[in-house]
Amino acid sequence: MGAPSAKRSPRKGRSKPAKAAPEPTLVDPETVEKVRRATAACMRSLERVVQTGGRACVDATVAAAIWLGPRLRDGALAVLGALGRGTAGAARWSWERRSGLARVGQRGLWWLALAILVVVGRALLSADGDPELVELSVLYLSAGLSMSLLVMLSAPEARMRLAALALAGGHGSLAALALVASTGV
């Protein structure tokens, strides 16, 4: 391989531009060298600390783990025992009051089904034939219908069963209208 050839200017009569005076450097080379040596010395001392102190760090970590392990285990067992006693107490309390809690749950389902009927019914009235909203409303109305039927089948009071029957009728009729509107039959 030969030596690289120097490029020649395509125009022969041109002279090279005069070189500008060198700009003064903003960094003192001696200062740069001092910083470089100081950094190297710091790195050497840091390596020595890591080599000698690394074993001490491992020993301290092992000692802390030996001391802390049983205490963490005992604390975790105490917390789990308290959670277990709390859960057992809540289950016992709930079982003793299951009839009242069932009635509260039935009323909650009824009110939720009523809220679904009102919100979805208003949305359907303002839907302007939006097919996505109509299809989505059928799902919500089906959920409300199933909630109403659950209340109707499980409520001990006759007035609650009658109210659930009326609510189920509203959900069913609105769902049927939405289905008819979405299929275009």
Closest CA to 121 of 134, 132, 106: 134
pLDDT for position 128? 72
Straight-line distance from the first to the last Cα atom of the chain, in angstroms, rounded to the nearest whole number:
87
133, 123 in Cβ contact below 8 A? yes
Q: Which of 45-49, 52-56, 149-153 has the highest mean pLDDT?
A: 149-153
Kindly tell me if the per-residue pLDDT of 3 is higher than 70: no
Tell me the mean pLDDT in the region 106-112.
94
| Six-digit token string for 164 | 């659930």
Q: Where are the domains of the chain?
A: 31-96, 98-183
Q: Which range has the worst mean pLDDT, 16-30, 43-57, 97-111?
A: 16-30
Query: CA angle at residue 41 from 37 to 42, to 5 degrees?
Result: 120
Residue type at 159 in one-letter notation = R
Place of tokens 């679904």: 116
What is the spatial distance between Cα 147 and Cα 142, in angstroms, rounded to a whole number? 9
